[in-house]
Structure 1
Amino acid sequence: MIRGERVLLRSRRESDVAVLCDGLYDDVLGHSRADSRPWVPTQPSKSPFTHALDDPAPDAAHFTVVEAVPVTPDAPDGERLVGEALLWGIDLHNRGAHLGLSLLPSARGRGLGTDVVRVLCEYGFAVRGLRRLEINTLYDNHAMVAAAHRCGFVREGLRRRSAWVYGEFLDELILGLLAEDWPPTRAGGTTGE
């Protein structure tokens, strides 16, 4: 488990699959905006969220994102499931990977995405020893672009009309972050802890 300021990235549990499937995969438009693969109807036991339970792929690291909350009857372990995150396309020769995340609708707009990006960067750079992380996101995904910029990512390019999203081609931004630029310098010239 890797801890951020407000979120934890942990391994996928079987109980996570149905929640993620209901909240993320069954939203066809949302899935189309978040994943380059087409949406197809599937049973929860065969959902794309189950692959993290079985044999992990060598070129990907899948996490369940949970928000740290006070212990209550609804959250007896002090966690509230809020989404998924991953490093994918991990290239050990060139020491790079792509970063992605999807938050449940109830978790969006609360600043959690920035914390998830920070924790994924820590995992990629500190734990995996990668040299470069990249985010490919839709041009109009303002929340992801803002979270990436807050974490030190810079815009490196635009792929015009490269993403087929629910009946139209949309532009994608390419954002990159190098290990030597992480963690980003905070206001006042220090790298906060």
Structure 2
Amino acid sequence: MLKGDRIGLRARHEEDIPVLEAGLYAQVATTARADSHPWRPLTPGSPQSRFRVDDDDQRHLVFSVVELADGALVGGANLWGVDLHHRSAHIGLGLLPAARGKGYGTDVVAALCHYAFVVRGLNRLQIETLSDNIPMLRAAERNGFVREGLLRSSAWVMGAFQDDVVLGLLAEDFRRTP
């Protein structure tokens, strides 16, 4: 398990999937803000669930986020678009509603950065998030990410276009972050 200050990142367990589906995917507005595909209903246990893991896919590395204090599942996180040639990847995370506002996002981003830069030897991480996702923007910036661009009206979210912010962090800057 990868450990942050208050959270751990571990492999996804089968029993995590229904909890994440109910707490994240079943919430249409949450999914519309977090996913690049439109929400559609999925039967519980569907093999098409976005929370299922393909252990053979080396470009999408999936973690469950748990509290270190009691092991309770609080969300999911991933490195996606892993490119070993360019040594880069993208960060994604989703916290269950009861886990939001507790600083876990900052800790998750830090643990993912440690894994990507120290364990995997990547050189660049990138986060794309909606411009009004203040918790994610703060979590990224607290970990040294720099705003690199704004993609105007690039995301269709619940009937309106929204801007996406692109943030990046290089391994050399991560090592300098206190």
Q: Normalised by the shorter chain, which TM-score bucket?
A: over 0.9
Deviations 1:86-142 (A, max 9, x none): 000001111100001000000000000000000000111111110000000000000
CA distance in 2, matches of 1:177, 1:59: 19
Q: Count the aligned residue pairs.
A: 176
Note the C-alpha offset of 1:14. 0.6
- The letter of the residue matching 1:159 is L
In structure 1, stretches of 5+ residues that fail to align are 70-77, 187-193
Contact 1:151–1:183 (8 Å) recurs in 2: no
Contact 1:67–1:79 (8 Å) recurs in 2: yes
Question: Which residue, 160, 165, 173 being the options, matches 1:168?
Answer: 160
- Percent of aligned positions with the same letter in both sequences? 56
CA distance in 2, matches of 1:17, 1:84: 10
Runs of 4+ in 1 over 4 A off after TM superposition: none
Larger Rg: 1
In structure 1, the partner of 2:8 is 8
Asked whether 1:83 is paired with 2:83, we answer no
- The letter of the residue matching 1:10 is R
Deviations 1:4-39 (A, max 9, x none): 110000000011011000000000000110111111
1:110-189 maps to which residues of 2 (within 5 A)?
110-186=102-178
Distance 1:184 1:148, change over 3 A: farther
1:56-75 maps to which residues of 2 (within 5 A)?
56-69=56-69
Distance 1:147 1:184, change over 3 A: farther
CA RMSD of aligned residues (A): 1.0
Contact 2:143–2:177 (8 Å) recurs in 1: no
Secondary structure, counterpart of 1:14 in structure 2? coil
In structure 2, the partner of 1:94 is 86
CA distance in 1, matches of 2:59, 2:177: 30
Contact 2:151–2:165 (8 Å) recurs in 1: yes
CA distance in 1, matches of 2:176, 2:72: 28
Normalised by the length of structure 2, the TM-score is 0.96
In structure 2, the partner of 1:72 is none
CA distance in 2, matches of 1:83, 1:56: 22
Asked whether 1:49 is paired with 2:41, we answer no
Contact 2:80–2:89 (8 Å) recurs in 1: yes
In structure 2, stretches of 5+ residues that fail to align are none
